[in-house]
Amino acid sequence: MNRFSLIRPIAATLAAMALSACALLATPEPVQSYRFGEAAPAASAALSVASPTEVTLRRVEFPDAVEGDRLLGVTGTETAYIAGARWVSPAADLYMASLENAFTARATRVRLIGPRELIRARRSLDIDVRSFEARYEAPGRAPTIVVTARARLLALPDRTVAAEQVFTIEQPATANRVSAIVEAFDIATRDLNTRIVAWTDASAG
């Protein structure tokens, strides 16, 4: 074997390594982080009763596909995550904080006890989010944000169901752009929170 037959395989290997290095060093697609939901209010709502009903908020359950930081798009039976966008924190965490802030700002008959507070309450609020997604009628069209949640108010300590309600919010995005889709998620979440707070206020007494 002459030296040229050795050089050719070595040169080919070096070229392949160079291409691999370029692939590893390629600039990734830019990703923008977003948030949704209620911000912490400057002041608590004025309670309309002297002794509000204390309600413990259990950890909100989200479907596996959307509990993380990705935005789910659905077209018919096909699903895909929306490129170039992430929630700044897992969606389940953002929603939990948003709901607590909504109760602080709006509840007039109940005092919400967060999962980090070691207080025993007479009622427990369970929220099970069933859908949290952008639904497209056709590819390329502006989607509609669909958020569905089941709320159950349980009497403690036996955990019997005192009240139950399913809420569905549909909020069209104004355009098929990430910023418009995020805005629709934010509006839908705030609407859902407003309804859950009002329902809990009416049902927890």
Q: Residues, the chain, total? A: 205
Mean pLDDT within 109-134: 86
Window from 36-45, 74-83, 131-140, 150-159 with minimum mean pLDDT: 36-45
- Inside any domain, residue 84: yes
- Inside any domain, residue 7: no
| Cβ–Cβ under 8 Å, residues 132 and 96 | no
- Inside any domain, residue 98: yes
| Cβ–Cβ under 8 Å, residues 166 and 20 | no
Quote the CA–CA distance of 101 and 108 in Å, as a whole number.
13
Q: 158-198: per-residue pLDDT in tens? A: 888 999 999 999 999 999 999 999 999 999 999 999 999 99
* Residue 118 confidence (pLDDT): 64
* Residue 44 confidence (pLDDT): 77
Q: Which residue has the higher pLDDT, 117 or 78?
A: 78
* Residue 23 confidence (pLDDT): 44
Quote the CA–CA distance of 198 and 193 in Å, as a whole number.
9
Q: Which two tokens stand for residue 20?
A: 């691999």
Instruction: Tokens 């070096």: give the residue.
Output: 14
- Inside any domain, residue 3: no
Residue 99's domain spans which residues?
31-203
Q: Which residue has the higher pLDDT, 38 or 24?
A: 38
| Cβ–Cβ under 8 Å, residues 37 and 88 | no
- Inside any domain, residue 102: yes
Mean pLDDT within 62-80: 96
HSE value, Cβ hemisphere, 13 Å, CA-based, for 3: 0
* DSSP 8-state secondary structure symbol assigned to residue 136: E
- Inside any domain, residue 18: no
* Residue 51 confidence (pLDDT): 84
Percent of the chain, pLDDT > 70? 83
Q: Choose among 40, 65, 51: nearest CA to 204.
A: 51
* Residue 45 confidence (pLDDT): 72
Residue 7 has pLDDT above 80, yes or no: no
Average pLDDT of the chain?
A: 85
Count of the separate structural domains present in the chain: 1
The CATH number of the domain holding residue 130 is 3.40.50.10610
- Inside any domain, residue 42: yes
Residue 36 has pLDDT above 60, yes or no: yes
- Inside any domain, residue 78: yes
